[in-house]
Amino acid sequence: MRDFKELVAEFGTRFGVAQFPAAPATLYEPGEYFLSIGGKRIRPILCVLGNELFSDITEDAWSLATAIELFHNFTLIHDDMMDAAALRRGMQTVHTKYGDNTALLTGDVMLIRAYEKLQTINPAYLPKILSLFNTTAREVCEGQQLDMDFEKMPSVTLDAYIHMITLKTSVLLAASLEMGAILGGATPGNCKHIYAFGKNLGIAFQIQDDYLDAFGDPEKFGKEVGGDIRQNKKTFLLLHALEVATPNQRAKLDTLLASNGPEKVPQVMEIFKACNVDAWAIEFKEKYLQMALANLEDIAVTSTRKSALLSLANYLMQREN
């Protein structure tokens, strides 16, 4: 069995071929540009690892992994527009480089290409795969809308936030694993456990992402830190700070959130640190990681077959970008 880095390298070779036709170049070049920026390729490799957990890796697993990565990049192109983000992985976002209209169409055609790739897998598996893929795609959109809604709401509960990031982020990781498992012939019970593993790992992954947005090294993170603060996103960091802040800190936070000045990010960060948000976040992430590991333990295969997923979980929790 190969480790995560080896699988990423093989997927990179397979995914590195042109995913779009040559013309019209004004539509397809932006898509190839965005895909060439790269990324961690976590979701497609989860699909491959989910497949390998129950069988040898099949060609269908690589095709499905490509569909998943195309879908994920479609969401990123549109997310960048909604977040008014200038950088993605340290490079210009599509809408800043090519304009909003082209970015919309590039995202749309990337989604269509994902479905075209999905159609190439064994028809015997397609009904289950397509049903899970479509459900997940809808849930990701619901999560993104909730994320935007939360920006305008005066208060959001931690449970509501967890529900939002489950939809926006973790369901795609969970579905990637389960779809690979389906191709590997996993039983319904094992499919349930591997989905739960992916869901809880995805929540921990998003907690880490929110943490890095505030406390990460911008050179390693690949984008400006404090983006969530500037956008007034109700992340778990802000929710916890609002919960534990003193009356004076709470009043200052409310004032800062209503502003857009250059002092906003550094002063909110000062309050976060005073409230020990960073230490709390690490403990909170650990809680969901342990839940994920318990789900992995419940999967009825030999422990040696789980080693790659265990290593990946530890890698994701220690990442700095």
Nearest alpha-carbon partner for 34 in 85, 320, 317, 7? 85
Q: Name all domains of the chain by residue range, CATH numbers in brackets.
A: 4-318 (1.10.600.10)
Which pLDDT tens digits describe the chain residue by residue (321 residues)? 777 888 999 999 999 999 999 999 999 999 999 999 988 899 999 999 999 999 999 999 999 999 999 999 999 999 999 988 898 888 999 999 999 999 999 999 999 999 999 999 999 999 999 999 999 999 999 999 998 898 888 889 999 999 999 999 999 999 999 999 999 999 999 999 999 999 999 999 989 988 999 998 766 665 677 888 988 888 989 999 999 999 999 999 999 998 988 899 999 999 999 999 999 999 999 999 999 999 999 999 999 999 999 988 988 888 766
Asked whether the CA dihedral 98, 104, 109, 111 is positive or negative, the reply is: positive
What pLDDT was estimated at residue 320?
A: 67
What pLDDT was estimated at residue 222?
A: 59
Per the structure block, which two tokens stand in for 12? 């990179």
How far, CA to CA in Å, does 108 sit from each of 24, 29, 34? 15, 14, 13
What pLDDT was estimated at residue 321?
A: 62
Q: What are the respective helix, strand and coil percentages of the chain, to the nearest 5?
A: 75, 0, 25
d(CA 205, CA 316): 7
What pLDDT was estimated at residue 219?
A: 67
What pLDDT was estimated at residue 38?
A: 87
Nearest alpha-carbon partner for 112 in 45, 19, 40, 17? 19
